[in-house]
Structure 1
Amino acid sequence: MKNSIEIKNGLLIFLGIGLFFLTMDMVGLADKNYLRILNAFIVLYGINRTIQYNFHHGKSDYLENLISGFKTGIIGVFLGIVGLIIFVYLKGGESYLSKLSDTFFFVGKTNIIKYVSVLLFEGIASSLIGSFALMQYWKDVVVNSKY
């Protein structure tokens, strides 16, 4: 399968984000917005693994690797949002969401559609920016590969 590394690392991103937010919820830190920024490092880790894999397997085309990294991030973000929707409804739906939505994006009452839409937009943007930033690093790296 051509995209198997993207799917594998997208699932890794999903698992990392899921475990991170479950841990934050268990220790009572789910409402701390500044800790949520750490999920960007999980997404960057998964994207970097995909790009690194591609370079080590002879795929050095800039645009191909940029798109591959972006697809990896999108898979992880999309699965993370689906997981969030399920989690929110398991924890009580809109009443639980009101506890999470205390950020500058969501002033006042919000619903799951608005919340997920903003997170999807943020995830797409961060995946694209992260892929581009990582490709700026990888474009100058010479890989000594045994393949």
Structure 2
Amino acid sequence: MKNSIEIKNGLLIFLGIGIFFLLMDILGLADKNYLRILNAFIVLYGINKTIQYNFNHSNSDYLENLISGFKTGIIGVVLGIIGLIIFVYIKGGESYLTKLSDTFFFVGKTNIIKYCSVLFFEGIASSLIGSFVLMQYWKDIVANSKY
């Protein structure tokens, strides 16, 4: 049952990030790097929903919830990268990627493999850090509510 909530919230992360970046592209804001940081809040929201669900269903084990939140983030990241690959090829392939890479953290010529690899490792790191930070929050909430 726990895996289904991780998948559900991973899909929620994917949908949230997908809609966010599609709106940025439609509104012509895709070149604004500072707006891209907002996707972190979408990922944190999905991870938080998983951890909150686990605590509400009597699963207060720290390590299990940390791993559950991390898996939720990874599901969202992997689906997001798959969606990005599809989106890049719909928008024109490598030529569109060149436009994206000029406005992101990449310098010079890149390809879809390098671009998605960097985003994958960045997503893994942010999911792990986000899960850890949220577990610190929930650990204190649960500990204080018992007294």
Common topology (TM > 0.5): yes
Residue in structure 2 matched with residue 57 of structure 1 by the alignment: 57
Give 1:123 shift. 0.3
Query: What is the correspondence of 1:88-127 to structure 2 with a 5 Å cutoff?
Result: 88-103=88-103, 105-127=105-127
How far does the alpha carbon of each residue in 1:85-104 deviate from its partner, in whole angstroms, 9 at most, with x for none? 00000000000011111256
Counterpart CA distance in 2 for 1:129 and 1:2 is 21
Which has a greater percent of helix? 2
- One-letter code aligned to 1:5: I
**SS class of match (1:31):** coil
Question: Take 1:66 and 1:51, find their aligned partners in 2: how far apart are those partners?
Answer: 8
State the Cα distance separating 1:4 from its structure 2 match: 0.3
Other-structure match for 1:24: 24
Name stretches of at least 5 consecutive residues in structure 2 with no aligned partner.
Answer: none
Distance 2:63 2:2 in 1: 16
- Read off the aligned partner of 1:94 and give its amino acid letter: E
Stretch of structure 1 that moved more, 98-107 or 32-41: 98-107
Task: Compute the TM-score of the two structures, normalised by the length of structure 2.
Answer: 0.94
Whole-angstrom CA distance in 1 between matches of 2:9 and 2:130: 14
Give the AA of the match of 2:105.
Answer: F
The runs of 5 or more residues in structure 1 that have no matched partner are none
Structure 1 consecutive aligned stretches of length 4 or more whose deviation exceeds 6 Å: none
Separation in structure 1 between the aligned mates of residue 12 and residue 39 of structure 2, nearest angstrom: 12
Shift of 1:32: 1.3
| Equivalence for 1:83 | 83
The Cα of 1:57 is off from its aligned counterpart by 0.2
